[in-house]
């Protein structure tokens, strides 16, 4: 069993600024813009997508209208990803200090009154540590169970 370090240990938790989030935000943005481009070409009745020489144009009703809806929905989803990345939701740190017997948990959330989550827990108030493993290798979430707050995740939820 590993004991707490004698000196305080600070562990940073990455937020939403991960390479996979940048990939999905960019992928969703480019995909939705492409779908909107095809929808615009069907609305105007011209083939703006000139990689092939066919004169086939997607009819606006119902295919073009459906493409417009999906393109706008994709833009909203992409903006959501980019706002999460901009605000870096989920970033924080865990500070374990055995000298004073405290564990400090800090996280950033969405802007507003409760953007910052700060919790001080005495080591003697920790009831249990529980690890939920997932089928993927090296994935899971470590929770600390306390008397007042219940289950608090110590590791990022999507790693």
Q: b/e string for 109-129 if b means 16 or more Cβ within 10 A?
A: eeeeeeeeeeeebeeebeeee
Contact 135, 129 (CB under 8 A): no
Indicate the helix (H) or strand (E) that contains 130. Answer: strand 126-133
For residue 49, pLDDT beyond 80: no
Q: What is the pTM of this model?
A: 0.76
Question: Of 32, 31, 6, which Cα lies nearest the Cα of 96?
Answer: 6
Parse the chain into domains and list their residue ranges: 9-15+89-153, 19-87
For residue 26, pLDDT beyond 80: yes
Out of 46-50, 112-116, 123-127, 150-154, pick the least confident: 46-50
């Amino acid at each position: 069993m590993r004991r707490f370090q004698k000196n305080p240990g600070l562990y940073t938790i990455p937020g939403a600024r991960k390479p996979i989030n940048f990939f999905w935000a960019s992928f969703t943005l480019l995909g939705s813009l492409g779908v909107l481009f095809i929808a615009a070409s069907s609305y105007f009745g011209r083939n703006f997508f000139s990689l092939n020489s066919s004169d086939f144009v997607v009819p606006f009703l119902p295919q073009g209208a459906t493409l417009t809806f999906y393109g706008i929905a994709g833009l909203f989803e992409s903006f959501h990803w980019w706002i999460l990345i901009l605000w870096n939701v989920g970033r924080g740190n865990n500070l374990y200090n055995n000298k004073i017997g405290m564990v400090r948990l800090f996280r950033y959330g969405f802007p507003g009154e409760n953007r910052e989550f700060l919790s001080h827990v005495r080591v003697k108030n920790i009831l249990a540590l529980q690890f939920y493993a997932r089928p993927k290798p090296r994935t899971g979430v470590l929770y600390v169970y306390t008397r007042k707050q219940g289950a608090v995740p110590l590791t990022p939820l999507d790693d």
